[in-house]
Chain A
């Protein structure tokens, strides 16, 4: 009995994986994008902090990031 249910569980897992591999489910892709955005935010914070510590101006940081000086300052200023 338990062996049967284990077998079925394994089969379900395999089916899930197979479905995910070729993914058409928008949720998977959207979640990946959201996670990527979070990772990006963390990386940006690390780099901006590092640049500030090395004496970079907001203008210089903004130029490298390709955004306006105001945008960077608003996000990371006063901290």
Chain B
């Protein structure tokens, strides 16, 4: 009978040991091919965003993080990744974001990059659409946050206001509650206490397992988006000439917005808006107010992190398609006040590289659809981003203020 038990459970025990071994052994960080990096840098996949290995290897080369959300997926020929690839710029964008990623996701998911980013530059596209009454939606957070990154943060979190605020917000997201170890650690940080020794050991084991998982499985998915980049590259002129690019952007934008008078890309319009959907959306943004939001505090977490790493960050505030805003009844004065509030938060603390495009929503072919940059809009970004990333920059001087974490600031409607 003993022998039979061994026959039944022996393979199970063996399998368990192999899995444990694979997860807990310190595995080497295998090198990725250049092609792989090209594809992964534009994949917008949660595996890249939350992982460690791919970002680590990209940053070791000439990649620069471009943080953002849904606009990053508008890969027309003037998208930063297309321009950088076509003209062999000294920098290549590492796209970080997808629809639904907001400040809190970026804050968590950039943890493993921070040592590499010290003193480096980055581009950050911040959408006013993040600044809703609810702020980061927990379901979207759950989809994009990475336990690996969270464990990394927890192991270095301290007792300062920023870390306590972050812990409170992360607990509110609910997602980390899946791991008992992480949830307990979050409670301690939120309460302003240090982690206990057993907590640190538990987190370290969990982190090692997650890192190995990232090493073993992060390359299993293949992104199809590199084809979009290549298609865009074929359409661009041979030389990097702003005037020629602008003419082409107008030409392509014109040809692609023939189906409607809202200046929206034909594909987007036909798939997402045409017919009754469009009617339903009339007046749908009436009452949207981006001035009061927990997102301002979450955004402050990022600023604090950038400042701590002494990073030089170019911020970009994209506009809203003016015709669309009018059609959906968005209050422009309130929108402008929200932009003003965000710029105040940046300027007050020494973040002076801000490209405010919020007034450009009515320029022709600036937007690809409702709220996303396209053709001319991407070129406007390039006018600032290219010199920012290719010419010497003065070192920034930041003066952080914890007031921006407070409820009072989240609820402040107007500044100045």
A binds B: no
* Contacts from B to A (Cβ < 8 Å): none
